[in-house]
Each structure stands twice: as C-alpha cells, then as structure tokens.
Structure 1
C-alpha cells in the first residue's frame, strides 16, 4: 500500500449532550466557529477538506466545505458512524480526521501524523498527548480501513474507536502540546 493522496474530514456529527445539544462545530471559540478553525488547520496539510455533520447542514456549508451526512443505517454508533461515512466519501489513499471541538489544534500536529503515515502507510496513526490518547485526531488508509470498519461494526460487539484501531493495527504519535488538544465539551471550556 502506498501513500498517494490525502483528504481530511472535520467530525461534527455528534449529539453534543454535554453542551446542551448545541452543535459544537458552529459554536464560536475566539470569535470563529470551531469547525472552521479545525478545517483551516487541516487545509494546510490535506488536498481536500470536508465536514461530516448530521444537522445544520446549510450552516456548515457556509463555512466553505462540502458536508457529508451519515447514512441512517450507520447512525447511533458514536464517532465510528462518522468515521465510516468519511472513509466511504474520501477519494484519496489516506484520510486525516479531527473532531470539530478542538479549535486550538495546529497544522503541525496533522503534519506529524502525515509523516508517520508516509513511513508506514498501512497502519492507523493517532495523537497521544500528556492527557492520554486522542483517537479522533488520526490518519487512516482509506480502502483497507473502510472494509475493516464495516466488518467491525457488523459484529456489533462495541463501538470503540480505539477498539477498532487495535483490531486494525495502529500506533500512537506523541504530541506534547496539551493546549492544542483542548477538547471543548462544556460551556465553561468554551468560555
């Protein structure tokens, strides 16, 4: 398997239960929608960026990115629903993903994931910071990960992102800038 091309997805399809069900990607962090901040960082590394969202499609489209929606049959499986949708939509050899609620993430973090993938493109790589694993900041080989994820979800045992990565074959990539990995889950963190 070769690393030929790279697309990227902002994952914005969650329910935002800890944020009073407000669509986190559209909430302003330092006067900018969080999904836009993440998309701009991805754009500096990937050839094409799109957003995975399950509501507020027009508002996301106004950010300047194509929006893809989870199929009904795949919804309800947590972040793996969005991941499957993104892998199905990507037309590149590899896909870089990032959650919409990490507005401080930098293109340097994504470049480090890309570097790892260039060296061994058949594996999944994800960021690991001082606070632990960040599996939704990851890079995946599209074709093989899509096929494996369909099988994994078909087994229906559990819908764990790291469980899928472990089954597939993965490696963490150290990223020590804890501020960039801030995950905005509550109104206090947004402030």
Structure 2
C-alpha cells in the first residue's frame, strides 16, 4: 500500500485521464481497496460458474471413480512445480457436496443461459490454411479441470501431447 500511496501523492500529474476529467483526487489506498480488487478479479473469473456447477453435478451422477476416468487430471510430469502432494478426495467427502440438493445453487443455474468463458475464437474453413474450421474455447486452460484452483495451489496444466501438438501447429490465415 505504501508504494501505491506514494505514487498517488507524488505523481498527481500522471493520474488517469478519468480522474483529471472528473476533477477527482484519488483517496489513499487501503487494505479494503486491495480486497475489493481481489474480489472483483475473482468475480470476473467466474464466467464459467454454470459450467462448474453442471460439471460437478455430472460427477456426482456418475460417481467419483468414473468422473476421474472421464476427466483425468493431467499434470505435466516434466514440471516439478505441478507435482501435487494434496490429499485425495474420499468418496464420502465427494458425496457430501450433492449440488442437486442445494436449492440456492440450483436456482442459480435454472433457466439461465450457459455462458462460455473468455478467449473464445473461431476461424472459418475459408480462412484456415488447411481448409478446416478452427475453434478454441479458453485455450490457455484444460477443459478437464473443474476449476483452476485446487486446494491451496493454482496450477497451469499442459500435457506433453498438447505441447508437442502445439509445436507442430501453425495458424496461417489467408488474406
């Protein structure tokens, strides 16, 4: 906070245009401001909340072991930062979630549009080098991950196959 407040005090000539146009002087930065930004960023990352709930309900329907078969957790074995010592979820802990029985959660997904997350893009067959369509949905994360935070760690997953495939792929758009 000290650095932000020092900037506010000593660099008033470089404050954002919005402040200058509105005639607003920024107030000193507080812990509450930092928490508000963290909350806002978390909320902004919740665009796939419907998908998270539906994926969890599917897992509850098919059971923990079958869910692990359908959606295996892929960790790059060459990246030591992705090694996990997290305790395994037991079937009993898993069964306690039971989202379908939670009226508040179900009211959230009921009759709601299924929204898709950030970074979506598509290339029409006429514009791709090989004449085939290219579609990507949030290409920087794995769709098998039910959320990007597991336990107290944040992970980025890339399988060896995905890395090899990516290195062979070059996107060339026709003019």
Q: TM-score, normalised by structure 1?
A: 0.20
- Bigger Rg, which one: 2
Bigger proportion of residues as strand: 1
Q: TM-score, normalised by structure 2?
A: 0.22
Bigger proportion of residues as helix: 2
